[in-house]
Amino acid sequence: MNKKTKPDDDSKHPSARLGANPSYLNRELSQLAFNRRVMAQAEDRHVPLLERLRYLCIVSNNLDEFFEVRIASLLANSQVEGVSAESPALAAALERTSVECHQIVDRQYALLNQTILPQLSASHIHLLRHSDRNEEQRAWVKSFFEQEIRPLLTPIGLDPAHPFPQVLNKSLNFIVEMAGKDAFGRSTSIAIIKAPRVLPRVIKLPDVLSPGGASFCLLSSIIHAHIGDLFVGRQILAYSQFRVTRNSDLWVDEEEVKNLRQALQSELQSRQFGVAVRLEVARSCPQHLSQFLLDQFGIAANRLYAVDGPVNMVRLSEMIDQISDASLRFPPFAPGLPLHLDNGNDIFEQLKQKDVLLHHPFQSFQPVVDFVRSAAFDSNVVAIKQTIYRTGMNSDLMEALIVAAQRGKEVMVIVELMARFDEEANINWADKLERAGAQVVYGVVGLKTHAKLSLVIRREAGKDGNGELRYYAHLGTGNYHPTTTKLYTDFGLLTSNQKLATEVNEVFLHLTSLTKPKKMDYLWLAPFLLQKEIIRAIHNEAEIARKGRPARIVAKMNALLDESVIRALYEASADGVKIELIVRGACALRPGVPGLSENIHVRSIIGRFLEHSRIYYFRNNLQHDVYLASADWMNRNLFRRVEVAFPVLDKSLKRRVINEGLTPYLKDNTNAWSLGSDGNWHKNKPHRRQKQYSAQRHLMLALGALSPTHYTNK
């Protein structure tokens, strides 16, 4: 029997199950609580108005992925398990998440309609429904419909010769109910209209129709207003926009696949037509039409979402991008550079003198691009090795790798083809790299290569005058992506430490040869030793505490779900270790429980930038061990991905990581939330006489290139 795996499926992990163990919080509910915290940014009147709208769009995008992956996985498991003993727990989990999702969506649209849009209108920015448009605007919209929209539409009246059409994942569609007979004398009553994806979802009206401001119309609103023009001679009884969300995980047959890239290219086509898991319709959609669609897609009624607005709120980001009023956005921010890198000196000569720590987005990612680009043109460089997880459609770094290959250097790139929702971009880059002469491999089937590594090998004059190979490396917590490096907080280390860089090379040799990696003194590598090393370090702090000495753990990550790590933290807490966790998203650990976790505190920071860095700190009898990592403390990261945690060895850089990556976040009383033992999150506020303190604002001022006077408390 063929073995198919879904590499990131954590739904069978005990911490993902509602009621599996009262010591652990439910993963899905914790993930939804993160979206509550993001939505709180949209509710905050101190946040600029367009940014508040952007936060609403982010919540919608997060919910899309939540349904495409998490809910889809739970549903698949419930069907597989059938009448097993665990099915009631799964059913309860699905019901709880359904209730919470409906509440979040209801709050989203209430914020949009009652707060955000009215305030935008007061700022002379209008999102016009048909009833809001004046005669001139309606005339322009009708002309736009006739010239730009109608020619691309294909209304399908349903009958035996015209069955219900294939509906793409998350696409905009319309259902129409009609009275009367069609042109052939038949009583066809239902039609489906699919909105072409080439059409913009937000259309800006000419400035002359919006004096003193800007006016926009949604594509759905324009089609709604002119549905009658598509069915001449028929009476329109009811209509509604609708959108279906489908299971979007890709499945690969480990035993039979011969070429992962070819297999994925085929799978990408089927992703658009996976099992339907959610239906969104307009709130005005009649119940019988909603039920017709539910039946058509095989979706349960509790996964129907009737919304008062566009069924895809994410598309409102198109409107944000077209508004020029800077006062409605966050003030512009220019990242800084370490002073010794700001003078254009040879980067390899600088790294011989000292390691460079970069803290993004407060400091520019450009030195990392320059590191690879310099290697591409350096005649002494003989080889470049690189991992790629997410890099986007446009990337100067990837172009530099292509140039290096074209110039005859040995270029080896490990491209992770299974990076969810970036598969197509990565396949395209893999093809371009191979055509340039680079060696491209796809990691290990069944494991995602999530480590962030770059290695440059130069031939340099040795002490005896003969040439010798010298290694230079970049290790990071975030992706080599030109957009996310400006929006996500991450650390990157550029180093010429030969012991550390040699181990980076061993990781590359391990991934290409598939042989067992050598014993490493510095790097913690998943799926082999990372979890063991984390638990060993936790146990070491517990042993120190049992001897009556101060013991402390501080860790920052995106998610904390691995049960074994959580159990070790509970044991360390009982032994007296002070544990402070900064967890952006889902957290299954229940803090502050007497006898279990009273020495553990958990907080989350939600601000202008997405917190993405992973930092592990262990006091270790004043050794102050600091590790930066690509891995969260999740089962998938520790056992089903190739991940690397690396030590910060330079004492001054170690202090920087603590002083920039941990201490400010523990002090934050503006963008911080604390997790209670009941599983609820509470927004932190300054105590009486205490000044507001935002970690991100502090770092922008300390590391950015612009004047401190440009920034507000947010």
Cis peptide leading into residue 527 (ω within 30°):
yes
Q: Evaluate the CA torsion angle 590, 592, 594, 598 in order and state its sign.
A: positive
Chain position carrying tokens 């209108």: 121
Spatial contact of 369 and 357, defined as CB atoms under 8 Å apart: no
Among candidate residues 450, 474, 481, 698, the one labeled active-site is 450
Residues in contact with 292: Cβ distance below 8 Å, sequence separation at least 6, in sequence order: 175, 190
Question: What one-letter code names the amino acid at 102?
Answer: H
List the one residue out of 656, 615, 645 whose CA is nearest residue 357: 656
Binding residues, as ranges, are 62, 390, 420, 488, 584, 612
Spatial contact of 382 and 408, defined as CB atoms under 8 Å apart: no
**What are the respective helix, strand and coil percentages of the chain, to the nearest 5?**
40, 25, 35
Distance CA 300, CA 291 (A): 10
β-bridge partners, 614: 629
Query: How many C-beta atoms lie closer than 10 Å to residue 691's C-beta?
Result: 9
Distance CA 181, CA 189 (A): 8
Alpha carbon separation from 81 to 78, 352, 491 (Å, rounded) = 5, 58, 42
Alpha carbon separation from 181 to 165, 178, 188 (Å, rounded) = 21, 9, 7
Chain position carrying tokens 């037509």: 273
Beta strands 410-415 and 439-441 are parallel
Token digits of residue 25:
């919080």
Distance CA 266, CA 131 (A): 45
What is the greatest pairwise CA distance in the chain?
A: 96
Distance CA 526, CA 530 (A): 5
539 labelled catalytic: no
> What dihedral do alpha carbons 448, 358, 507, 469 form, nearest 10°?
150
Token digits of residue 628:
């930066």
Binding residues for ATP, as ranges, are 62, 488, 584, 612
What amino acid positions are annotated as catalytic residues? Answer: 450
